[in-house]
Each structure stands twice: as C-alpha cells, then as structure tokens.
Amino acid sequence: MTFTQWIEATTLSETLRSIRWLWQWAETFHFIGLTLLIGFVGFLDLRLMGFMQGVPISAAKKFMPWAIFGFALNVVTGLSFFLTFPARYTDNGAFFAKMLFIVIAGLNALFFETRLGARVLAIGPNDDPPMSFKIVGTLSIVSWLAVLYFGRMLPYLWQGIL
C-alpha cells in the first residue's frame, strides 16, 4: 500500500469525500486566502523594494497578521484538497514546485525576521531601503506569485510524474 492509498483509505479522507459541498467552498476560501496573502505580503514587499515611500516599513508589517490569516486559511483548505484526492497531487510536478516555492518564501520571511528585523525601525518612512531589503522583498513577491502560478496551473502542468 502506497502512502497515497493509505491516506485515501483513512476515515478522514472518506469523510471529506462524502461531503459534497466541501470542495467548492474550500476552493472559494482558498481564493480569498490567496488574495489576502498576496495583497498584504505584496504591500510589505513593495515597500521593502523601495516603492510605496511615505509608508514606514514597521507600519506595513502591522498588516502581517492578516497575511498569516490568509496563509492559514489556505493551509486548512489546501489540506482538505490533498486529503480528499491525494493522488491528484502526489502525481503532479506542479504541486511539488508550488510546495518548493512556499518553503523558499517561508525561509525568506524567516531570514527577514531574524536577520533584518532589528534594522527596520532605523529606516525612515521616506528612505530607500538597503539592497538586502530590496533582495528579500523581490524574492518574497516572486516566490508567492510562483506559488500562485503553480497552484493555478496544477491541473495543466506536469501531470503523471509517477
């Protein structure tokens, strides 16, 4: 029995499959979650890249709980997709590309918090951020847009890799 088959056989997976309205509502909230995530993270990223001057970086960061809320919404709904039909994802290259970019975006955010976080307050609302900030901001927005890209293209890209 493969890992995928084992998941499919669990009671949880069977229950999720039996709830007919679940998939469409999970998709809707997955879209709402991605909108919040891209909107609020993108806003901070733009500021880190040197756009949106006049906004202190610390102020843009105050929206991050809502980005995390959007991400959490997508983890929950995303897990419901995976547990309902695991074979659709474990057999799909775009799914792994998406997961890879989530990891890259996460590590990038962690690097920003732990290594650059202390310098945020030293940068004025109208200052052009240092190059390290611009790189982190660019990497962040590119990674999250890649997550969106591979997620939406999932049914069309690199199916049947197993």
Partner 1 sequence: MAFVTKNVALEFGCARGVKVVRTFKETLVRYKLRQLPLHLDVSMEETQFMKVMTWLQDSSIAIWVAESETIWAYPTMLTLHTFGLAILVGSNAVIDFRLLGFSRETPIPPLKKLFGPMWVALAINAITGVLLFMSGARVKGLVIMLYVKLVFVALALLVLLRIRRIVFESETRPEAVTSPHASWLAALSLCLWAAATLSGRMMAYWDWSFGEY
Which residue in 32, 68, 99, 146 binds partner 1 (CB under 8 A)?
A: 32
Task: Tell whether residue 54 is a contact of partner 1 (CB under 8 A).
Answer: yes
Residue selected from 52, 116, 142, 146 as contacting partner 1 according to rule CB under 8 A: 52
- 3: Cβ–Cβ under 8 A, 6 or more apart, which residues? 86, 90
125 binds partner 1 (CB under 8 A): yes
Complex with partner 1: residue 1 or 20, whichever CB lies closer:
20
- Among residues 39, 106, 117, 124, the one that binds partner 1 under rule CB under 8 A: 39
Distance CA 130, CA 103 (A): 24
Beta-carbon contacts of residue 68 (< 8 Å; ≥ 6 apart): none
Burial (0-12, 13-18, 19+ Cβ within 10 Å), 64: middle
The CA distance from 47 to 146, in Å, is 20
Phi, psi of 76 (to 5 degrees): -65, -50
Q: Could you say whether residue 49 binds partner 1 (CB under 8 A)? A: no
C-beta of residue 104 within 8 angstroms of C-beta of residue 143: yes
Task: Output the smallest distance, CB 99 to partner 1, in A.
Answer: 18
Query: Is 16 one of the binding residues for partner 1 (CB under 8 A)?
Result: no
Backbone φ, ψ for residue 55 (5° rounding): -100, 120
Judged by beta carbon, residue 62 or residue 115, the one nearer partner 1 is: 62
Q: How many residues bind partner 1 (CB under 8 A)?
A: 38
Judged by the rule CB under 8 A, the positions of this chain that interact with partner 1 are 20-21, 23-24, 27-28, 31-32, 34-40, 42-43, 51-56, 58-60, 62-63, 66, 125, 145, 148-149, 152-153, 155-157
